[in-house]
Amino acid sequence: MKHRLLRVNELLKRELSTIITREMNFEGVLVTLNQVDVTPDLKHAHAYVSVLGGKEGQAAAMAKLEENRVILQTALAKSVTLKYTPQVIFHLDDSIERGARVFEILQQIDTPRAETE
């Protein structure tokens, strides 16, 4: 059963990502669908989205995704045949941003050491 859920997660991620890229336009931000987690009953899908490009842009992109949720779910239902079309719940995933910040800090730590050698 677990393998089936993993396959469904990947399928939904791929299809939803394609639909978002094809159907939606975001001004000044890069929107990436990182992960989709479907509940075992297939009724809900938690979609983790990263938005690169400022706090206002993040808020606007998340609001736009939420506004178009029904349209995205309808398109998903047409492209994926499942017993239920899950209700998509969007979450802002800032892990890429946090990773970039950690990388920045590590570079700052490394730079002074290189100058003193």
How many Cβ atoms are within 10 Å of 89's Cβ, its own excluded?
14
Cβ atoms of 45 and 86 closer than 8 Å: yes
Looking at residue 26, its pLDDT comes to 85
Looking at residue 14, its pLDDT comes to 94
Sequence letter at residue 1: M
CATH class of 2-116: alpha beta
Looking at residue 89, its pLDDT comes to 92
Looking at residue 52, its pLDDT comes to 84
Specify the pTM.
Answer: 0.77
* Ranges of the chain whose pLDDT falls below 50: none
Q: At what angle do helices 69-79 and 55-67 cross, to 10 degrees?
A: 60
Token pair for residue 40? 């075992």
> Residue 91: helix, strand or coil by DSSP?
strand
